[in-house]
């Protein structure tokens, strides 16, 4: 297994690969996997390298600075489990799936806490011995409730916050505070059926395929860079409720795949899109 | 093979299957395949039976009338090739696929004519010895051009008109005139990316799956009962043009499957949805 | 929801649907969903009806006998949870998935006990408060170990025994004893890669898709009627171990779907095949 | 668009990317897309680069020689259409699909001739104005017939020979003669159902998914490096003939995708596997 991932996101220019691999050689690193991508529209260069061995991290970053433009974003990330806080409401399927995967090391993360606005999921979380917080939204101002949620989150200092069917719209402040660190699973094939009750809408529209979308959360509802999408074929026999149940499988799969990719440092955010390397 | 299909679409009530199969027995028919479906929301009963053998058609329909409500829709369709007129613009892929399938009896239809608003596809149509008409939209009023198109269509008395990437919006009059007999292939996974340039929109949105939708045409643009949908996984490496090319595969597949179903009399229209039996 | 399922498996003959629906009407049953299928090769007729309401079960079966051939198999099954015993070895993913689904009523079954030939999965099973038995195969004759396993199973009187990655070959006696009641998940797309180490074999063969198969267990290894199959696309970057991990998703999905179908009484066994209705 | 593809297949060693990109910079090339892969089991390094601009080809290859091991395989391929000869028997679907795609520049190839052991497909080939040869196998020794086929093929000096449902087993001599240049579409999801009549076998086995495999042809029947595989879900309603018809869609898709990849120089052969880059 690799012990570090080097992530470079910079303006595209000539000879970048040669220059960067030159630095890597100079610093005595052993690359075991390497991927590059040039996004032509935005003229951006992305590179992801899995590195093993002992080396001087400061020196590596310093040498890279010399060959890259000033504004280049360079990250050298140790390959260790991400700390995550999961937010949910009443639906169990995504949360249960994550708890199981976490307990068998399938997503490179540690669930440090679970928070919900109802108590329904407490028994499930208890099974896996994780702290569970219920922060109700009833009789509370949105701002006050979010403050409470944020305080709990910050106590755990997580790398990411996962909305595993957390059925609340977050305020721009909340989102800004955790910029690029909130991942949501939306229960439709975005951008179809934005907003509430997508399965009801899908039923009324008579679609033949339903889907789910895992994405980073940005200010706009159901917007933000898409990481993964999954679909499931249905037919006229499905009621709105059947769709909802079938859709759970797509939701679980899309979220689990997205988290695996993000937590293995394979996902770059580029404007409103994601670049997935490695 | 079956020689007739009996299609019943009526208000749901008790004992319908027993009553209908009673009539079928009485008339000495041999059913080789039978499917029913009850649409609970609209309280509609749908039944499709494949029938072989000799029998008195008038008598069958008369006897069915006795056991069904007055408003029941009953169709007894001989299993023969549908006559279809295909409308296109410049893109070859759906049209070429249909011409090939037709020439090898894969879709239970005969293409009696092809019509386009440009001349680009004439050489392709000529290969298959089909009449080709070019009705340009330039320097013409919409109404006049549509009138010209309709006149040609009517000359061929088709069962269905297929929009195989005909990139024009049809007027309500045109649609009404061919009610429930126009099938369109839309180059997106409806209801995502309604309207023009869906691949450009998909590219900008950064989706990870693209799709295509075959549907009956109703008054509203990109609305109408959906018959089939197909999807294709993509990634950040796809340009808008790559998506367009990849999307062609989904378009071809969705349209061919939809036509096969419709031309084998497997599709009921129920409000803005389709019920697919058999 | 329906409260009974009527299942008929008989020799195909004329007017069966009419006769059977006649009995159903006569007995005052309310059918809310009905499906038939005729298997032409074996000349068998299959019918599945979901029934609601109060009725005299004895009378229904008696009346059906009058209109069906002597050898017809007729089952009237109350819609209640199946009792299942799950057998596993060390791998958690299928078992964990089933425990979660069971605890949220997703598969119409109650897991009454879990049995494994190793102790690794005990902590997982304990989380869900289910009895766990470890019956090691070490230093034991196959026959003796199987006897022990069977004694435990019989104590629970299950409807079905699920092999959720139980990596042992069962003796014909064992299989015969639980005829048509053992469901296995095989970690390959049968009939490709029969036997041990399918992912290793798939890796060596360089396939581009891997799969999983849920099937009833018959005497022959990896034979028996197939219920569901699932596939996952892979590429040259996958090691045998990566395939194994990716394959788990197909295994979980194939098994969960198969069990849902079987436990909702939607699966007929016909020779070495399954007929899935409803 | 790129005008050259540089393909390197060599023993893996340190700093290869840096050395190769150094040569590329030195020779003034402009890389617009670059992909590498290290196959750990065989310790092989693969690199594919799309290059634009004017440069001295001899010099590039000479300089690369200096930094690579003696046994490295280096190919610099101009991006132009491959010349292909298609072999078929009676089935039209793959051949028709290729003829259409070729005529609209979808697979980066020119079909220079079509050869079959029956005359059935002549009308189809005539539509597209391609030379058609019928070399019957009746009353001929296998060796003699193959000699005839090979003579015709060689007249056209093709880059690849495509077996688009050519239902004959080729002799080792024939295969050796066109080593790594014959691509076959096999009508099953290999390695399931090797040999003749796969759909019949699939029907008897009662599988729930069928598939198709495009692969390079090696000595052993249905062996050889797999390029692409496609699958289609089926159910108990499919007769062996229905499976065959449905399977055609998978066959067409698998073959078209494989050819697109090969003809865009994206496929390396490594032992009995393929590495697909770019």
Reading phi first (left if > 0) and then psi (alpha if -120 to 50, else beta), residue B107 is in alpha
Do residue A68 and residue A96 come from a single domain? no
Q: Contact A208/B189, CB-based, under 8 Å?
A: no
The residues, any chain, with a CB within 8 Å of residue A146's CB and separated by 6 or more, are A170, A171, A173, A174
Q: Which helix (H) or strand (E) holds C110?
A: strand C109-116
Q: Give me chain A's average pLDDT, please.
A: 94
Beta carbons of A130 and A115 less than 8 angstroms apart: no
List the CATH number of the domain containing B121.
Answer: 3.40.50.170
Same domain, A195 and A88: yes
Q: Are residues C113 and C229 both part of a single domain?
A: yes
By C-alpha distance, the chain A residue nearest C91 is: A104
Question: Which chains are adjacent to chain B, needing at least 3 Cβ pairs under 8 Å?
Answer: A, C, D
Q: What's the average model confidence in pLDDT over B63-73?
A: 95
Token pair in block for residue A48: 């992801």
Shortest CA gap B23–chain A (Å): 27
Minimum distance, in Å, between the CA of residue B50 and any CA atom of chain A: 20
Q: Are residues D8 and D50 in the same domain?
A: yes
* C71: CB partners within 8 A, 6+ apart: C10, C11
Residues A33 and A97 in one domain: no
pLDDT tens-digit series, residues D126-168: 999 999 999 999 988 999 999 999 999 999 999 999 999 998 8
Burial environment of residue A183 by CB neighbours within 10 A (0 to 12, 13 to 18, 19 or more):
buried
Contacts of C92 in chain A (CB under 8 A): 100, 104
CB of A125 within 8 A of CB of A99?
yes
Per-residue pLDDT averaged across C156-182, rounded?
95
CA distance A21 to chain D (A): 5
Alpha helices in A104-226 (DSSP H): 122-127, 142-156, 172-177, 198-205
Please report which confidence band the pLDDT of residue A196 belongs to, taking 50, 70 and 90 as the band edges. confident
Residue of C nearest to D240 (CA): C41
Chain D CB contacts of C239 below 8 Å: 40
Q: By C-alpha distance, which of C265, C197, C262, C263 is closest to C224? A: C262
The neighbour count for residue A105, using CB atoms within 10 Å, is 10
Provide the strand spans (E) within chain D: 4-11, 30-39, 44-52, 73-78, 82-88, 109-116, 132-134, 160-163, 182-186, 209-216, 226-233, 267-270, 273-276
- pLDDT > 80? residue A159: yes
> Are B103 and B128 in contact, with CB atoms under 8 Å apart?
yes
Domain count, chain A: 2
d(CA D130, CA D3): 27
**Contact call for B93 and D104, based on CB within 8 A:** yes
In this predicted structure, the answer to whether residue D81 has a pLDDT above a threshold of 90 is yes
pLDDT of residue D8: 97
Q: Which residues of D touch C226 (CB under 8 A)?
A: 205-208
Q: What is the pLDDT of residues D197-215, one digit of tens each?
A: 889 999 999 999 999 999 9
Residue A31 has pLDDT above 80, yes or no: yes
Question: What confidence tens digit (pLDDT) does each residue in C14-56 have?
Answer: 889 999 999 998 888 888 888 999 999 899 999 999 988 788 9
Closest chain A C-alpha to C49 CA, distance in angstroms = 15
Residue A1, pLDDT score: 56
- CA D211 to chain centroid, in Å, comes to 18
pLDDT, tens only, B134-189? 999 998 899 999 999 999 999 999 999 999 999 888 999 999 999 999 999 999 88
* Contacts for A149 with CB less than 8 Å, ≥ 6 apart: A87, A115, A135, A174
What SS3 class is residue D34? strand
- B15 with B129, same domain: the answer is no
Of the residues D222, D223, D241, D242, which is catalytic? Answer: D222
Tell me which residue in B193, B206, B276 faces A273 most closely, judged by beta carbons. B206
Over the range D16-53, which residues count as b (16 or more CB within 10 Å of their CB) and which as e? Answer: bbbbbbbbbbebebebebbbbbbbeeeebbbbbbbbee
Residues D101 and D208 in one domain: yes
pTM, two decimals, is 0.96
Query: D interface mutation test: which of B96, B105, B123, B124 has the most D CBs within 10 A?
Result: B96
What separation in angstroms does the CA of B169 have from each of B132, B145, B184, B218?
21, 12, 11, 11
Given a cut of 90, is residue A256 above it in pLDDT? yes
Mutate to test the interface with B, among C6, C31, C41, C50 (most CBs of B within 10 A): C31
User: Is pLDDT larger for residue B231 or for residue D219?
Assistant: B231
**Contact (Cβ atoms closer than 8 angstroms) between residue D31 and residue D24:** yes
**In chain C, whose CA is at the least distance from the CA of D228?**
C208
With beta carbons under 8 A apart, name residues in chain B contacting A209. 189, 211, 229, 231
Percent pLDDT > 90 in chain B is 82
Contact B15 C21 (CB under 8 A): yes
Distance in angstroms (rounded) separating the CA atoms of residues D195 and D169 = 10
Q: How confident is the model at residue A219 (pLDDT cuts 50, 70, 90)?
A: confident
Reported confidence tier of residue B1, pLDDT bands at 50, 70, 90: low
Provide the pLDDT confidence category of residue A222 given band limits of 50, 70 and 90.
confident
D120 as an active site residue: the answer is no
- The answer, yes or no, to whether residue A203 has pLDDT greater than 60, is yes
Same domain, C132 and C254: yes
The active-site residue out of A97, A120, A129, A222 is: A222
Region B31-45: mean pLDDT is 91
Residue percentage of chain A with pLDDT more than 90: 82
**Alpha carbon C46 to chain centroid, angstroms:** 18
Q: Which residue has the higher pLDDT, A152 or A33?
A: A152
Query: Which residue in D256, D271, D153 sits closest to D218, CA to CA?
Result: D271
Provide the number of CB pairs (under 8 Å) joining chain C to chain D. 75
Select from D15, D17, D30 the Cβ nearest to the Cβ of A17.
Answer: D17
Can you tell me which residue has the tokens 């000096």?
A: D157
- Hey, are the CB atoms on D100 and B96 less than 8 Å from each other? yes
Domain boundary among B26, B50, B78: B78
Contact assignment for A17 to D34 by CB distance below 8 Å = yes
Mean pLDDT of A5-20: 93
Of B205-219, C168-182, D23-37, the poorest mean pLDDT is in: D23-37
Give the SS3 label for residue B57.
helix
Interface contact flag, D229 C206, Cβ < 8 Å:
no
* pLDDT given for residue D2 in this prediction: 67
From chain A, pick out residues whose CB is under 8 angstroms from the CB of D35. 35
Residue C222 has pLDDT above 80, yes or no: no
In chain A, whose CA is at the least distance from the CA of B277? A236
pLDDT at C267 over 90: yes
For residue C103, list chain A residues with Cβ-Cβ distance below 8 A. Answer: 124
B250 in the same domain as B204: yes
Cβ-nearest to C36 among B15, B25, B34: B34
Contacts of D128 in chain B (CB under 8 A): 127
Report pLDDT digits (tens) over D22-66. 999 888 888 888 899 999 989 999 999 998 878 899 999 999 999
Decide: D95 and D66 in contact? Cβ < 8 Å.
Answer: no
> Which residues in chain A are closer than 8 Å to C234, comparing Cβ atoms?
none
Long-range contacts of residues D237-241, Cβ cutoff 8 Å, at least 24 apart: D237/C37, D238/D203, D239/C40, D239/D203, D240/D199, D240/D200, D240/D202, D240/D203, D241/D199
Do residues D69 and D102 share a domain? no
Q: Which of C180, C222, C223, C242 is catalytic?
A: C222
Does A69 share its domain with A171? Answer: no
Instruction: Please report, for the domain that includes residue C31, its CATH number.
Output: 3.30.70.260
| In the predicted structure, residue D80 carries a pLDDT above the cut 60 | yes
Q: Which of B222, B223, B241, B242 is catalytic?
A: B222
Alpha-carbon span A136 to A140, nearest angstrom: 8
Domain span including residue A54: 4-78
* Residue C137 in tokens: 């195969």
B14/C25 CB distance under 8 A: yes
Find chain A residues with C-beta within 8 A of C128's C-beta.
127
- B contact set with D (CB within 8 A): 92-93, 96-97, 100, 103-104, 106, 124, 127-128, 245, 249, 253
Q: Which residues of C touch D239 (CB under 8 A)?
A: 40
Q: Please identify, among A30, A54, A78, the residue that sits at the C-terminal boundary of a domain.
A: A78
User: Is A249's CB within 8 Å of C249's CB?
Assistant: no
Residue C275: list chain D partners with CB under 8 A. Answer: 236
Q: Determine the average pLDDT of the residues in A150-178.
A: 95
Q: Cis omega (within 30 of 0) on the bond before D88?
A: no
pLDDT value of residue B188: 87
Residues 6+ apart with CB under 8 A from D210: D188, D189, D199, D202, D231, D232, D234, D243, D246, D247, D250
Of C78, C97, C116, which residue is a domain's last? Answer: C78
Of B14, B31, B237, which to mutate for an interface test with C (greatest number of C Cβ within 10 Å)? B31
> How do residues A73-129 score in pLDDT, each as one tens digit?
999 999 899 999 999 999 999 999 999 999 999 999 999 999 999 999 999 999 999
Query: Do C103 and A124 make contact, defined as CB atoms within 8 angstroms?
Result: yes
CB nearest to C100's CB, from A96, A104, A253: A96
B108 and B22 part of one domain: no
Q: Which residues of D touch B (CB under 8 A)?
A: 92-93, 96-97, 100, 103-104, 106, 124, 127-128, 245, 249, 253
CB contact (8 A) between residue D18 and residue A15: no
What's the gap in Å between the CA of B276 and the closest CA on chain A?
7
Q: Please give the pLDDT value at position C1.
A: 57
Q: Does the beta-carbon distance from A22 to D18 stay under 8 Å?
A: yes
Task: Read off the pLDDT band of B271 (50, 70, 90).
Answer: very high
Question: Given a cut of 70, is residue D169 above it in pLDDT?
Answer: yes
| Residue B33: both structure tokens together | 């395949």
Instruction: Look at A93 and C103 and tell me if their CB atoms are within 8 Å.
Output: no
Taking residues A239-251, report their average pLDDT.
Answer: 95
Alpha-carbon torsion angle D162, D165, D167, D171, nearest 10: 20
Could you give the CA distance from residue D154 to residue B181 in angstroms, rounded to a whole number? Answer: 51
Question: Among all residues of chain C, which has the CA nearest to that of D231?
Answer: C231
């Amino acid at each position: 297994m690799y012990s570090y991932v080097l992530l470079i996101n910079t303006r595209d220019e000539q000879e970048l690969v040669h220059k960067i691999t030159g630095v890597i050689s100079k610093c005595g690193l052993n690359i075991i996997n390497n991927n590059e991508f040039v996004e032509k529209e935005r003229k951006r260069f992305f590179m992801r390298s899995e590195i093993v061995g002992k080396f001087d991290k400061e020196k590596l970053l310093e040498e890279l600075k010399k060959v890259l433009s000033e504004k280049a974003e360079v990250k050298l990330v140790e390959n260790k489990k991400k700390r995550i806080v999961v937010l949910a409401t009443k639906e169990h399927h995504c949360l249960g799936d994550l708890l199981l995967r976490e307990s068998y090391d399938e997503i490179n993360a540690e669930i440090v806490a679970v928070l919900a606005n109802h108590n329904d999921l407490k028994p499930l979380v208890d099974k896996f011995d994780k702290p569970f917080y219920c922060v109700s939204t009833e009789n509370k101002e949105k701002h006050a409730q979010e403050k409470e949620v944020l305080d709990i989150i910050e106590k755990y200092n997580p790398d990411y916050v996962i909305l595993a069917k957390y059925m609340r719209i977050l305020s721009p402040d909340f989102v800004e505070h955790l910029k690029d660190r909130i991942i949501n699973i939306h229960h439709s094939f975005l951008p179809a059926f934005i907003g509430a009750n997508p399965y009801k809408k899908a039923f009324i529209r008579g679609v033949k395929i339903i889907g789910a979308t895992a994405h980073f959360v940005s200010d706009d509802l159901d917007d933000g860079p898409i990481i993964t999408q999954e679909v499931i074929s249905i037919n006229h026999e499905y009621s709105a409720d059947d769709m909802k149940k079938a859709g759970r499988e797509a939701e679980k799969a899309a979220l689990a795949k997205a988290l695996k990719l993000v937590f293995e440092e394979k996902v770059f955010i580029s404007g409103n899109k994601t670049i997935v390397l490695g």
